[in-house]
Structure 1
Amino acid sequence: MIKHKSNLQSVLRALDDAEERALTGVGEFVRSEAQARSPVKTGELRDSNDYKVVSEEQKVLIGNSTDYGLWVHEGSSRQRSQPWLRSSVMENVSRIKNLIGELMRL
């Protein structure tokens, strides 16, 4: 009789680690792009771009923590929109997909 040893737990752990690596890599990449594209007056807006990995939902949140970031990004009656966060993602979709592919390799 052949004895069977399951590697399921180590495989699942490796997949979880790869997913965490990919989400973190995407967050770091997009934050870097956002910092390069942020409108700069004092530097506060640029320096307030960040990301948060939400592993249990398999996603990464990209945002800006300033009180006025939303108004700069989306615009207002006083100023035109400057959607640096959106463009940091949308203009890099293929690079982000490639990055995920690279970082998910076991």
Structure 2
Amino acid sequence: MRKRTYSCGLDAAVDIVGGKWKALILWALHHEPRRFGELKRSVPGISEKMLIQMLREMEAHGLVHREVYHQVPPKVEYSLTEFGQSLNTALIPLGVWGEENMRAIEAIPRD
């Protein structure tokens, strides 16, 4: 596999968190581990298929830890790794900016 080269730190960060869902999943896992169903309810509008895909990618990138408990019924919990927590911390100011500017952002005409 070829190593990716980035032009700046923002390029690298956007590559990891790119897309709509990953930041929302990171935020949903901010305080505590969650089971799949809890995550699905915490991220409105995400399909089951997309949530599975995003969790797999985030696990492969080292952002999310998947803990499987061998019990009946089966239990799986997702939590943030230290790497994922650090990214979540970096996203907090962006969320604050979004809250402060939500009306202006909502007023932008869309295609």
Q: TM-score, normalised to structure 1's length?
A: 0.30
Bigger relative contact order (CA 8 A; separation at least 6): 1
Q: Which structure has the larger Rg?
A: 1
Q: TM-score, normalised to structure 2's length?
A: 0.30
